[in-house]
């Protein structure tokens, strides 16, 4: 029991004292997560809307593929991205391996199926009479798209939160593509794994508390937005 208490005390001391190593991992995590979730939302929401809104040949097959990709192991994605970004791969000339943008590419691939799948589900659950009502009011295609998107905003927001949580807590992509380089590509999750193995339980707890705090802040923000809008 003393072991746990000492770990938590050390964790609070690291956070309050502004330990540079701890905050370097926090900064890297926030930056790479912002890049990846931003790209996945920009790409995934329109694709998810089209998948859920329109009927076309092969829709069920595409939906099955998207649902399957939602459960892809992070180490498998990390392996594929590493193969593409290594100097022998097709994208090796861009120098993205062992960089934060490289990690963001892998995390975007991880989050994209979640955003597409849950956005499509949200659109499919809309009132079928909504489209007829909006069109009867003389709305053009752009207004129809925006109005429908607004009506299913809560489902899309839930998908964004799920994707963000998956990105924030993954280890495989950050470890394989980023290399866990101190002061450079070390994220919260890779730092927790490394420091705990080294016996630095306090730093692991400190970074874990940061993850919990970020998740709590995100959920509070979402609840506020739901009440407001």
Q: Which 3 state secondary structure label does DSSP give 176?
A: helix
pTM value is: 0.88
Question: How much is the pLDDT for 1?
Answer: 55
User: Residue 65 CB: number of other CB atoms within 10 A?
Assistant: 12
The dihedral over CA atoms of 14, 15, 16, 17, expressed in degrees to the nearest 10, equals 40
Question: How much is the pLDDT for 225?
Answer: 65
Taking the C-alpha atoms of residue 126 and residue 161, their distance in angstroms, rounded to an integer, is: 20
Contact 101, 34 (CB under 8 A): no
Question: How much is the pLDDT for 150?
Answer: 85
Contact 103, 190 (CB under 8 A): no
Angle, nearest 10°, between helix axes 188-197 and 20-53? Answer: 130
User: Residue 4 CB: number of other CB atoms within 10 A?
Assistant: 10
Name the residue ranges covered by the structural domains of the chain.
21-228
Taking the C-alpha atoms of residue 132 and residue 122, their distance in angstroms, rounded to an integer, is: 18
Of 194, 212, 215, residue with least CA distance to 203: 194
pLDDT per residue rounded down to tens, the chain (229 residues): 566 677 677 777 777 887 888 889 889 999 999 999 999 999 999 999 999 888 889 999 999 999 999 988 999 999 999 999 999 899 999 999 999 999 999 999 999 999 999 999 999 888 777 777 777 777 777 887 888 888 888 888 888 988 998 898 899 999 999 998 888 999 989 988 887 777 777 777 888 888 888 878 877 877 776 676 5
Question: How much is the pLDDT for 104?
Answer: 96
Contact 216, 165 (CB under 8 A): no
Of 228, 181, 218, 188, residue with least CA distance to 204: 188
Contact 79, 150 (CB under 8 A): no
What is the CATH number that goes with domain 21-228? 1.10.3720.10
């Amino acid at each position: 029991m003393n072991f746990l208490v000492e770990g938590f005390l050390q964790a609070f001391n690291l956070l309050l004292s502004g330990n540079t190593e701890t905050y370097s991992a926090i900064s890297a995590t926030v930056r790479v997560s912002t890049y990846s979730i931003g790209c996945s939302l920009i790409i995934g929401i329109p694709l998810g809307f089209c998948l859920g809104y329109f009927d076309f040949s092969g829709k069920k097959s595409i939906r099955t593929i998207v649902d399957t990709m939602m459960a892809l192991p992070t180490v498998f994605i990390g392996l594929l991205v590493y193969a593409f970004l290594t100097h022998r791969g097709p994208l090796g000339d861009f120098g993205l391996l062992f960089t934060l943008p490289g990690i963001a590419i892998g995390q975007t691939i991880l989050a994209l199926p979640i955003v597409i799948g849950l956005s499509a589900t949200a659109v499919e659950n809309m009132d079928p009479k909504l489209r007829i009502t909006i069109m009867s009011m003389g709305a053009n295609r752009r207004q129809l798209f925006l109005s429908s998107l607004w009506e299913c905003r809560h489902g899309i927001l839930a998908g964004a939160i799920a994707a963000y949580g998956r990105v924030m807590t993954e280890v495989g992509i950050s470890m394989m593509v980023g290399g866990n380089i101190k002061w450079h590509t070390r994220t919260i999750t890779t730092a927790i794994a490394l420091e705990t193995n080294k016996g630095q339980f306090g730093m692991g707890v400190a970074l874990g508390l940061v993850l919990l705090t970020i998740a709590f802040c995100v959920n509070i923000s979402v609840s506020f937005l739901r009440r407001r809008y």
